[in-house]
Chain A
Amino acid sequence: MADQISNISTTQLFNYTLNLADNSLIMGHRLSEWTGHGPILEQDIAMSNIALDLVGQSRNFYQYAAQIKNKITPSGDGGKGTPSVDRGTTEDSLAYLRDADEFKNIILVELPNGDWGYTIAKLFFFSTWQFLLYQKLIPSSDAQLSAIAEKSLKEVTYHVRWSSEWMIRLGDGTDESHQRIQKAIDEIWNYTAELFLPSAFENACYENNIGVAVSEIKNDWTQKINDVLKEATLTSPAAVSSPLLAGKEGRHTSFLQEILDDMQYLQRTYPGCKW
């Protein structure tokens, strides 16, 4: 728990946990848009399963983040001075009552789904990264983060396998699928740079043996991506020349605002209600 760790500010730990939660929620939210619209009934079901795993992960992280927040401000105010929330910070106040600039997810997860190939490419890049991240988070000195990472890693292992196979199937399928998936990779590639750029809260957590040095997983990530792209007869794009921190610091594309407009609509329209 936060109070056992002397030389890190609780705010850094809070932000770090939020980043993990926001990544899973926004990715899960995007994937759930496929429910009922998948290209094959069996794959519709598979995609919904992954969405459910991710929403589940986000709930675990948000619940922990809420615990941390309520310790900082015991009389809790819903995370951002929302008078209607009287039970302190909760998983829902964090997901439903923060503004876009308070979200700390990487930009990659907020990108629209595009076609099936675009979604698969996003998921493949993301899951491979999440896999390496969670693996390194298991030895964390923070028992809660460690436990959530361990539980989630099993799910993510399957996501990596499933999305890798689809990458190969689409890359080595028909000419059309090859072109579509290559185009998706090329378009998404720039957004993968942020995955390995540490933010202030990531640095602070890493230095205190709580978090992962994201720059250290870049080689393994690149290796895995290249292996799969090679088998898929696809080309890896060149390294991103000048990567930028954006989402982790709350600077988002308008896509996140669109997601939140939809997601938070009921909580915002009828403040203070139980659902």
Chain B
Amino acid sequence: MQDETGLLETFDDKVAKEIKIEPRDWMPENYRKNLIRQISQHAHSEIVGMLPEGNWITRAPSLRRKATLIAKVQDEAGHGLYLYSAAETMGITREEMVDQLLTGKAKYSSIFNYPTLTWADIGAIGWLVDGAAIMNQVPLCRTSYGPYARAMIRVCKEESFHQRQGFEILLTLCRGSNEQKDMAQDALNRWWWPSLMMFGPNDDNSPHTAQSMKWKIKRFTNDELRQKFVDICTEQAKILGLTIPDPELKWNDEKKHYDFGEINWDEFWKVVNGDGPCNSERLAARVKAHEDGKWVREAASAYAEKRNRNN
């Protein structure tokens, strides 16, 4: 047996050499804690993220849209499940994680605390929110923890249709009536800034970034990813003929990037800390599903137990 220092050296060496860490390998306690926090938050985000879009399944305006939206929201449930599974390999149970979510101890992506007011919001979520998520997630396919990386590969493969369906919804609206185009612009106005917030605080204000980069849990900083997102979306908005709601957005020829305005961090922290427009509604919906489902889970377990006894 190696001592703690030796173990740590072996661990650091593996990470440096891009050798994946697997569940039963020795890992620093903080690495485990940090990952459980990140993976479970990510899983919770997928699950809570089903609500704002699920809200429009029954109102989807065509059968094709209805089918794709069900499939998309269902994928999010699947992604939540893959991620819960990955976290469970680190010794936490799903029940514990769900409990942390329902009691408000665990965080999830603040973006889902904004309401979906019109059909165009479903397009904007697909384009911007899934777009930002993909930008965050693609580097995670190479993250140092094996089960997390494998879950993310699966998630990213499935995500690719989500952003396209969102963009297609907006494109159809933008080519439609004036009212439809206004609907699309209004959705962009409301979702743009919250989407930029999805990348988290600025780098100089992000407590976990440095350690996470060192451990190769994260591969790019929040600001790097946010910049990339702004550059890509600004070009895509031109295809839609929509205006991004930022008067300071301007191409910087020197940096070869777009400059953009300051995020309203006050709003960011308010929503993170529970004062967003839908925080309580989202949590209440999750709590209700969990409580209403209690007797179902009990029945399934009781039945399985009876069967086991009889075999």
Contacts and interface: CB of A to CB of B under 8 A. Distances in A.
Please determine if A and B sit in direct contact within the complex, based on CB atoms under 8 angstroms apart: yes
Contacts of A44: 74, 77
Nearest to A30: B58
Interface stretch (A147-155, A167-175, A216-224): A167-175
A33 B295 contact: no
A173 B67 contact: no
Contact of B292 (A32, A43, A115): A115
B74 A49 contact: yes
Contact of B66 (A55, A180, A259): A55
B100 interface: no
Nearest to A263: B58
Contact of A59 (B59, B67, B169, B285): B67
Contacts of A58: 63
B154 to A, nearest CB: 14
Contacts of B64: 59
Interface string A27-63: 0010011011111111111001101100110110010
Given A115-B292, A274-B176, A52 B71 contact: yes
Contacts of B6: none
A273 interface: yes
A177 to B, nearest CB: 3
Most buried by B among A48, A59, A267: A48
Interface string B67-88: 1001101100110110010000
A263 B66 CA distance: 10
A48 B62 contact: no
A170 B67 contact: no
B303 A168 contact: yes
Given A44-B77, A273-B180, A36 B51 contact: yes
Q: Majority SS of interface residues in chain B?
A: helix
A96 interface: yes
A5 interface: no
Given A32-B57, A52-B67, A275-B65, A42 B172 contact: no
A265 interface: yes
Contacts of B81: 41-42, 45
Interface string B134-146: 0000000000000
Nearest to B291: A39
Contacts of B297: 39-40
Contact of A33 (B58, B84, B169, B294): B58
B177 A270 contact: yes
A48 B292 contact: no
Contacts of B73: 35-36, 48
B67 A55 contact: yes
B92 to A, nearest CB: 16
A37 B293 CA distance: 9
A123 B296 CA distance: 16
B289 interface: yes
Interface string A103-122: 00000000000011100000
Contacts of A52: 67, 70-71, 74
A180 B295 contact: yes
A33 B60 CA distance: 12
A95 interface: yes
B180 A55 contact: no
Contact of A275 (B61, B179, B293, B294): B61
Contacts of B256: none
B67 A56 contact: yes
Contacts of A102: none
B111 interface: no
Given A32-B57, A52-B67, 12 more contacts: A32-B70, A37-B288, A40-B296, A43-B296, A44-B74, A45-B78, A92-B63, A172-B303, A176-B298, A259-B58, A266-B119, A275-B169
Interface of B: 47, 50-51, 54, 57-59, 61-67, 70-71, 73-74, 77-78, 80-81, 84, 119, 169, 172-173, 175-177, 179-180, 285, 288-289, 292-300, 302-303, 306
20 contacts: A32-B58, A35-B50, A37-B285, A39-B293, A40-B293, A43-B296, A52-B74, A55-B67, A62-B63, A168-B303, A169-B299, A172-B303, A172-B306, A176-B295, A176-B298, A177-B295, A177-B296, A177-B298, A266-B119, A270-B179
List 9 tightest A-B contacts by C-beta distance, closest first: A39-B293, A173-B299, A177-B299, A36-B54, A36-B50, A275-B61, A48-B74, A39-B296, A266-B61
Interface of A: 25, 29, 32-33, 35-45, 48-49, 51-52, 55-56, 58-59, 62, 91-92, 95-96, 115-117, 168-170, 172-174, 176-177, 180, 259, 262-263, 265-267, 270, 273-275
